Amino acid sequence: MVTTTLWHGFSLLFHHGGGLVLDGQTLLVADLHLGKGEALTREGHGMLPPYDSLSGLQALGNMVSDIDGLKRVILLGDSFHRPGSIDRLDPHSLDLLADLQSKLHLHFVLGNHDHQVMHPMIRHQSRSLMLGNLLLCHEPPKEQQLFVCGHLHPVVRVRAKGRAFRRRAFLLSKTGIFCPAIGSYAGGLNMMDPAFEPWRDDKAKAVMTGPNKSIVINREHWIPDGQRR
Protein backbone atom coordinates (compact mmCIF):
# COMPACT_ATOMS: atom_id res chain seq x y z
CA MET A 1 0.00 0.00 0.00
CA VAL A 2 1.00 3.65 -0.35
CA THR A 3 -0.23 6.44 1.91
CA THR A 4 -0.09 9.93 0.46
CA THR A 5 -0.01 13.27 2.21
CA LEU A 6 -3.30 14.96 2.98
CA TRP A 7 -5.31 15.96 -0.08
CA HIS A 8 -7.67 18.86 0.65
CA GLY A 9 -7.98 17.64 4.23
CA PHE A 10 -8.59 13.99 3.36
CA SER A 11 -6.17 11.23 4.29
CA LEU A 12 -5.67 8.95 1.29
CA LEU A 13 -4.46 5.38 1.23
CA PHE A 14 -4.06 3.65 -2.13
CA HIS A 15 -4.48 -0.12 -1.93
CA HIS A 16 -2.46 -2.11 -4.45
CA GLY A 17 -5.66 -3.93 -5.43
CA GLY A 18 -7.16 -0.72 -6.86
CA GLY A 19 -9.18 0.65 -3.96
CA LEU A 20 -8.87 4.09 -2.36
CA VAL A 21 -9.35 4.48 1.40
CA LEU A 22 -10.57 7.84 2.67
CA ASP A 23 -9.73 8.77 6.26
CA GLY A 24 -9.21 5.13 7.15
CA GLN A 25 -12.92 4.25 7.14
CA THR A 26 -14.33 4.41 3.61
CA LEU A 27 -13.15 2.20 0.74
CA LEU A 28 -13.86 3.47 -2.77
CA VAL A 29 -13.70 1.14 -5.76
CA ALA A 30 -14.78 1.66 -9.36
CA ASP A 31 -15.86 -0.25 -12.42
CA LEU A 32 -16.20 -3.85 -11.29
CA HIS A 33 -18.29 -4.56 -14.40
CA LEU A 34 -19.73 -7.70 -12.82
CA GLY A 35 -21.29 -9.95 -15.43
CA LYS A 36 -19.34 -8.54 -18.38
CA GLY A 37 -18.06 -11.92 -19.58
CA GLU A 38 -21.55 -13.42 -19.48
CA ALA A 39 -23.10 -10.38 -21.16
CA LEU A 40 -20.62 -10.21 -24.04
CA THR A 41 -20.96 -13.93 -24.71
CA ARG A 42 -24.75 -13.76 -24.60
CA GLU A 43 -24.79 -10.73 -26.91
CA GLY A 44 -22.60 -12.45 -29.50
CA HIS A 45 -19.29 -10.68 -28.89
CA GLY A 46 -17.23 -13.84 -28.55
CA MET A 47 -16.89 -16.56 -25.95
CA LEU A 48 -15.37 -15.25 -22.73
CA PRO A 49 -14.86 -17.34 -19.59
CA PRO A 50 -17.60 -16.21 -17.16
CA TYR A 51 -15.32 -16.00 -14.13
CA ASP A 52 -14.76 -12.25 -14.08
CA SER A 53 -17.57 -11.60 -11.59
CA LEU A 54 -16.14 -14.03 -9.08
CA SER A 55 -12.63 -12.64 -9.60
CA GLY A 56 -13.79 -9.05 -9.11
CA LEU A 57 -15.71 -9.80 -5.92
CA GLN A 58 -12.80 -11.81 -4.55
CA ALA A 59 -10.50 -8.84 -5.22
CA LEU A 60 -12.93 -6.57 -3.39
CA GLY A 61 -13.17 -9.01 -0.50
CA ASN A 62 -9.38 -9.21 -0.26
CA MET A 63 -9.13 -5.43 0.02
CA VAL A 64 -11.79 -5.35 2.73
CA SER A 65 -9.88 -8.01 4.67
CA ASP A 66 -6.59 -6.12 4.31
CA ILE A 67 -7.84 -2.81 5.72
CA ASP A 68 -8.56 -2.53 9.43
CA GLY A 69 -11.25 -0.15 10.65
CA LEU A 70 -13.37 0.02 7.51
CA LYS A 71 -16.97 1.07 8.05
CA ARG A 72 -18.28 1.20 4.49
CA VAL A 73 -17.58 0.51 0.85
CA ILE A 74 -18.74 2.88 -1.87
CA LEU A 75 -18.75 1.50 -5.41
CA LEU A 76 -18.31 4.31 -7.93
CA GLY A 77 -20.51 3.09 -10.75
CA ASP A 78 -20.50 0.39 -13.41
CA SER A 79 -20.45 -2.20 -10.65
CA PHE A 80 -22.59 -4.26 -13.04
CA HIS A 81 -21.96 -4.38 -16.78
CA ARG A 82 -25.68 -4.32 -17.54
CA PRO A 83 -28.64 -3.26 -15.36
CA GLY A 84 -29.77 -6.91 -15.24
CA SER A 85 -26.34 -8.46 -14.71
CA ILE A 86 -26.93 -9.02 -11.01
CA ASP A 87 -29.80 -11.39 -11.88
CA ARG A 88 -27.36 -13.57 -13.85
CA LEU A 89 -24.54 -13.78 -11.32
CA ASP A 90 -23.42 -17.28 -10.37
CA PRO A 91 -24.34 -18.52 -6.86
CA HIS A 92 -20.77 -18.18 -5.55
CA SER A 93 -20.58 -14.54 -6.63
CA LEU A 94 -23.94 -13.82 -5.02
CA ASP A 95 -22.71 -15.42 -1.80
CA LEU A 96 -19.62 -13.20 -1.80
CA LEU A 97 -21.75 -10.11 -2.36
CA ALA A 98 -24.09 -11.14 0.46
CA ASP A 99 -21.11 -11.72 2.76
CA LEU A 100 -19.81 -8.22 2.07
CA GLN A 101 -23.27 -6.80 2.76
CA SER A 102 -23.33 -8.56 6.13
CA LYS A 103 -19.99 -7.04 7.20
CA LEU A 104 -20.12 -3.47 5.91
CA HIS A 105 -22.39 -0.75 4.64
CA LEU A 106 -22.31 -1.00 0.83
CA HIS A 107 -23.42 1.99 -1.23
CA PHE A 108 -23.72 1.74 -5.01
CA VAL A 109 -23.19 4.90 -7.04
CA LEU A 110 -24.81 4.25 -10.40
CA GLY A 111 -22.89 4.53 -13.66
CA ASN A 112 -23.55 4.57 -17.38
CA HIS A 113 -23.63 0.76 -17.60
CA ASP A 114 -25.77 0.22 -14.49
CA HIS A 115 -27.90 3.36 -14.54
CA GLN A 116 -30.63 1.51 -12.64
CA VAL A 117 -30.29 -1.69 -10.61
CA MET A 118 -33.44 -3.21 -9.14
CA HIS A 119 -32.54 -6.03 -6.77
CA PRO A 120 -33.16 -6.64 -3.05
CA MET A 121 -29.42 -7.00 -2.42
CA ILE A 122 -28.79 -3.44 -3.62
CA ARG A 123 -30.07 -1.61 -0.57
CA HIS A 124 -28.33 1.74 -0.99
CA GLN A 125 -27.85 3.43 -4.36
CA SER A 126 -27.72 6.95 -5.78
CA ARG A 127 -26.44 8.87 -8.77
CA SER A 128 -23.71 10.45 -6.62
CA LEU A 129 -22.79 11.00 -3.00
CA MET A 130 -21.21 13.82 -1.00
CA LEU A 131 -18.65 13.33 1.77
CA GLY A 132 -18.22 16.81 3.16
CA ASN A 133 -17.11 18.89 0.18
CA LEU A 134 -16.03 15.82 -1.84
CA LEU A 135 -18.24 14.55 -4.65
CA LEU A 136 -18.22 10.78 -5.18
CA CYS A 137 -19.49 10.00 -8.67
CA HIS A 138 -19.03 7.76 -11.68
CA GLU A 139 -18.11 10.30 -14.36
CA PRO A 140 -16.05 13.45 -13.72
CA PRO A 141 -18.30 16.45 -13.02
CA LYS A 142 -18.60 19.28 -15.50
CA GLU A 143 -18.48 21.92 -12.77
CA GLN A 144 -15.32 22.75 -10.85
CA GLN A 145 -15.32 20.84 -7.55
CA LEU A 146 -13.40 18.18 -5.66
CA PHE A 147 -14.30 14.69 -6.80
CA VAL A 148 -13.40 11.02 -6.87
CA CYS A 149 -14.72 9.02 -9.82
CA GLY A 150 -14.13 6.05 -12.09
CA HIS A 151 -15.45 5.70 -15.66
CA LEU A 152 -12.25 6.28 -17.67
CA HIS A 153 -10.39 3.16 -16.43
CA PRO A 154 -7.00 4.92 -16.06
CA VAL A 155 -3.73 3.13 -16.74
CA VAL A 156 -0.19 4.49 -16.72
CA ARG A 157 2.65 3.43 -18.99
CA VAL A 158 6.24 3.87 -17.85
CA ARG A 159 9.67 2.62 -18.81
CA ALA A 160 12.04 1.07 -16.30
CA LYS A 161 15.14 -1.10 -16.69
CA GLY A 162 14.75 -1.10 -20.47
CA ARG A 163 11.16 -2.34 -20.44
CA ALA A 164 7.81 -0.59 -20.74
CA PHE A 165 5.11 -1.34 -18.19
CA ARG A 166 1.42 -0.55 -18.62
CA ARG A 167 -0.67 -1.01 -15.50
CA ARG A 168 -3.87 0.15 -13.92
CA ALA A 169 -3.39 3.24 -11.81
CA PHE A 170 -5.05 6.05 -9.92
CA LEU A 171 -4.77 9.53 -11.37
CA LEU A 172 -4.37 12.13 -8.63
CA SER A 173 -4.77 15.75 -9.74
CA LYS A 174 -5.33 19.08 -8.00
CA THR A 175 -9.10 18.74 -7.98
CA GLY A 176 -9.95 15.12 -8.72
CA ILE A 177 -9.01 11.48 -8.38
CA PHE A 178 -9.74 8.82 -10.99
CA CYS A 179 -9.86 5.26 -9.66
CA PRO A 180 -8.77 2.33 -11.82
CA ALA A 181 -11.22 -0.28 -13.01
CA ILE A 182 -11.35 -3.45 -10.93
CA GLY A 183 -13.12 -5.66 -13.47
CA SER A 184 -11.04 -8.36 -15.16
CA TYR A 185 -12.35 -7.47 -18.63
CA ALA A 186 -12.61 -3.72 -18.05
CA GLY A 187 -9.43 -2.73 -19.89
CA GLY A 188 -7.85 0.68 -19.46
CA LEU A 189 -7.19 4.09 -21.03
CA ASN A 190 -3.70 5.59 -20.96
CA MET A 191 -3.47 8.74 -18.83
CA MET A 192 -1.77 10.45 -21.77
CA ASP A 193 -5.01 10.17 -23.74
CA PRO A 194 -6.72 13.51 -24.48
CA ALA A 195 -9.66 12.44 -22.29
CA PHE A 196 -7.49 13.07 -19.22
CA GLU A 197 -6.06 16.39 -20.43
CA PRO A 198 -8.16 18.64 -18.10
CA TRP A 199 -6.70 16.83 -15.07
CA ARG A 200 -3.15 16.28 -16.33
CA ASP A 201 -1.89 19.33 -14.43
CA ASP A 202 1.66 20.03 -13.26
CA LYS A 203 0.94 18.42 -9.88
CA ALA A 204 -0.66 15.28 -11.33
CA LYS A 205 0.62 11.94 -10.13
CA ALA A 206 -0.17 8.36 -10.99
CA VAL A 207 -0.34 5.69 -8.32
CA MET A 208 0.37 2.48 -10.19
CA THR A 209 -1.10 -0.73 -8.79
CA GLY A 210 0.90 -3.92 -8.58
CA PRO A 211 0.81 -7.43 -7.14
CA ASN A 212 1.93 -6.38 -3.66
CA LYS A 213 2.25 -2.62 -3.53
CA SER A 214 1.36 0.66 -5.21
CA ILE A 215 3.99 3.00 -6.61
CA VAL A 216 3.77 6.77 -7.11
CA ILE A 217 4.77 7.80 -10.65
CA ASN A 218 5.40 11.49 -11.28
CA ARG A 219 3.92 13.11 -14.36
CA GLU A 220 7.23 13.42 -16.25
CA HIS A 221 7.64 9.63 -16.36
CA TRP A 222 4.34 8.83 -18.09
CA ILE A 223 4.61 7.77 -21.73
CA PRO A 224 1.91 7.31 -24.38
CA ASP A 225 1.01 3.92 -25.77
CA GLY A 226 3.31 2.90 -28.60
CA GLN A 227 6.05 5.37 -27.75
CA ARG A 228 9.59 4.09 -27.30
CA ARG A 229 12.09 6.02 -25.29
- For residue 229, being part of any structural domain is answered with no
- For residue 59, being part of any structural domain is answered with yes
- For residue 13, being part of any structural domain is answered with yes
- For residue 226, being part of any structural domain is answered with no
- For residue 112, being part of any structural domain is answered with yes
Helices 91-103 & 52-66 angle (0-180, nearest 10): 20
Domain residues for the domain of 66 are 2-221
- For residue 19, being part of any structural domain is answered with yes
- For residue 107, being part of any structural domain is answered with yes
Strand partners, 169: 208
- For residue 197, being part of any structural domain is answered with yes
Please list, in sequence order, all residues whose beta carbon lies within 8 angstroms of the beta carbon of residue 210, skipping any fewer than 6 positions away: 16, 167
What DSSP state is assigned to residue 109?
Answer: E
Q: What would the DSSP string read from start to end of the chain?
A: -EE---BTTB-EEE-TTS-EEETTTEEEEB---BTHHHHHHHTTS----TTHHHHHHHHHHHHHHHSTT--EEEEES-SBSSTTGGGG--HHHHHHHHHHHHHSEEEEE--SS-S----TT---EES-EEETTEEE-SSPPSSS--EEE-SS-EEEEEEETTEEEEEEEEEE-SSEEEPPB-STT---EETTSGGGGGG--TT-EEEE--SS--EEEEGGG---TT---
Look at the chain and report how many structural domains it folds into: 1
What's the CATH code of the domain at 65?
3.60.21
Find out whether 154 and 217 touch, Cβ atoms under 8 Å.
no
Per-residue pLDDT of the chain (229 residues; tens, 9 = 90+): 665 678 999 999 999 999 999 999 999 999 999 988 787 677 677 677 778 999 999 999 999 999 999 999 999 999 988 877 888 899 999 999 999 999 999 999 999 987 777 777 888 999 999 999 999 999 999 988 999 999 999 999 999 888 899 999 999 999 999 999 999 889 899 999 999 999 999 889 999 999 899 999 999 999 999 866 5
Q: How far apart are CA 140 and CA 137, in angstroms?
A: 7
